[in-house]
Each structure stands twice: as C-alpha cells, then as structure tokens.
Amino acid sequence: MKKILITGTAGFIGFHLADALLKQGHAIIGLDNINDYYDPQLKLDRLKTAGLSASQDQLIADENTSSLAHGQISTLAHDSKPYTFHRLDLKDRPAIFGLFERERFDTVIHLAAQAGVRYSLTHPQAYVDANITGFLNILEACRAYPVKHLVYASSSSVYGKNTDMPFSVNDNVDHPVSLYAASKKSNELMAHTYSHLFGIPATGLRFFTVYGPWGRPDMALFLFTKAILEGRPIQVFNRGEMMRDFTYIDDIVEGVIRAAERPARANPLWDGASPAPGSSDVPHRVYNIGNGSPVKLMDFIHALEDALGKAAEKDFMPMQPGDVPATWADTTSLEADTGYKPGTPVGHGIRRFVEWYRAYYDIR
C-alpha cells in the first residue's frame, strides 16, 4: 500500500482516480479548494459519492482562510480503506508544506489547476495563482519532503499552433494560443528544472479532451446534453469544422495509474545535441494520454443525439479565441513504456455519460 496525495479530488479526473486507487488498496489523501469556477455542488456531490462523512457545510469556508487552520479536514469512509480529504488552496504554501511534513507521501499526483481555455481570456490571474504559483508550491514541497514520484497533469492544449498530426511528445510546443496552454507548458518546464536540479522523478501527462460520467459542466458534452434536453440550441464552433481526440475517463485513469507506477527515469539515449522534448537525461518524462482516434465534432454530436433520442438545434458559430481546430494524440511513448493504449469507442463513452446525466439530474 502506498500513501498517495491526489490534488483536485473534488474535480472530474481526481474523483475517478481516487476511487480507482482506493480499490487497489492505497491510502489516499485528497485536497481541493472547491472553488466556484463551476457549480461547487457537483464537486461536493462527488465527494459525497466517495463517502464523505462530514457535513457539506463543514467544507464551505472563507476562501481566504487556511483550511488547516480552521480544521476543515474530513475523513472519508471508502469500503474501510483510508481516504482523507483536506479543503485547502494550492496558494497556501504553509498549509501545503504542513501537509507534506505530516504525511510523507510516496507518490504525488497533481491534478488540481485552473482549467478552461476561454476562462483564461477574462481571468488570467487565476491561472498564474493556481497553475504557476500553486505548482511551484507542490514542487517545493516535493523538494523539501522527497517523494518517489511526482505525476502532474499537463494538457493537449500545449500543442497550440502545431498542425502536424498526430501530436507527438517530441513535437515542438513553443506556440501556445491561450494562457491556459502557456501555464501548462510552464509546468512542464518547471518540473524538468526540478528534476534536473534536485533529482525529483516527475512525469507530465498531456490529457486529450476528457469526457464521461461526473464530467465538467463547462465541457462540450455536458453543455450539449443540457441544451438538447432543455430544447435549446447548441453552439457549434468553427461551424462544425472541428476534430477532437475525445478520451473516456476510464482510459485517462488507467493511463495515470500506469504512469504513476513507473517513476520517471533518465533516458540514457537522450542527446543534448539533438534534444528530444519528450524525455531527458534527468528523471523527467512527458506522455500523451488520448484515444488516438480523433472524431469530427459533427459525428460526436450525432452520437449524442442517438444516445439522447433527440435531435439538436444547432447554432453554427465562428472559431473562438484560444481554440484550435483539431487534436490527435500519438500515444506511442505511453504504449512503449507502460504497455497501455486507450481505446474506449466514443459512442460507448457518450452513452455512459448520458446514463449518468439522466440519473444525476433525475431526467427520465
């Protein structure tokens, strides 16, 4: 049994990952600030589903106060396996360091971040606070209280203006088109630096358009489903000329676990005269986790219409600032190093989401 810190456990991926690792018998410590980027009730319901024993009011505190100072610590019962949740913010350096000092983690899986491309156009400071300062606090804590492996979430957004597909971890990613993407590229650079200077084994995971039950309300599948069931038109950007490598949540979780089980190692073949970006001569690696089978946006919508048994009214819109027309993951490195290749068909994943959505919102 390992003691694993998962940041962002009230979030979409963190909730599912904690559940999977608990079932494997690991001791999980989760943290989340439960901000209001989207409805906090969904985050609280995820925690409740995980077995949160404390009242929900206990988790609603002044966002400017330290969760630890106010005792906002809740033990969760998950089939008698240890799961402890802390409500705290990544910016709270003393609280983060206090947690690392007490718990002495084996592995840290850092998923917490300010998400969303479009939100970064209007709230840039949130990305610096959470994704830069917050990540620095995690790195510094891993330095002060060494861990066997730091796994952190990057994003397919780092590929930016790159149009050479499929996207490879050995591609150049120096041309982001949103501050969110820039912050994730910054995380990769920061982690590599700490691997170089302090020997921290670190693995960055570039997630490709994650979807599934308990998903984020700001993502297309959630927005489309809600609008179609309410009889409202859906907004189809770039007039439908979009393609995404949609990746089902179970595939993401399995990829994260496979990567976490294999601490990053230096690549003995890495050559500084021709530096491949996906690995290094220090213990830092980067992997894509995507389905490897991009789907046209209109095909995705048709699959959702089939699952709902209802046609969508469509408003065709121009491309939004910060967005890209297509994504496609090359998972060769992930397959070679972990033996895993995601592959859930998008039709299956959409049906699973619709089943969850109808049950959660009690829609017949």
Contact at 8 Å (CB) between 322 and 120? yes
* Token reading at 326: 């297509």
d(CA 150, CA 264): 9
Tell the burial category of 280 from Cβ atoms under 10 Å away from its Cβ (0-12, 13-18, 19+): buried
Q: At a CB cut-off of 8 Å and minimum separation 6, what does 62 contact?
A: none
Phi-psi region of 104 (alpha: psi -120 to 50; beta: other; left: phi over 0): left
CA distances from 71 to 32, 37, 43, 67, 75 (A): 14, 24, 19, 6, 12
Catalytic annotation, residues = 180
Q: Which residue type occupies 146? A: P
Given 3-state DSSP classes, what are the helix, strand and coil percentages for the chain, each rounded to the nearest 5? Answer: 40, 20, 40
d(CA 212, CA 353): 5
d(CA 285, CA 264): 6
Write b or e for each residue in 146-171: b if 16 or more Cβ atoms lie within 10 A of its Cβ, otherwise e. Answer: ebebbbbbbbbbbbbebeebbbbbeb
Please give the biggest Cα pair distance in the chain: 61
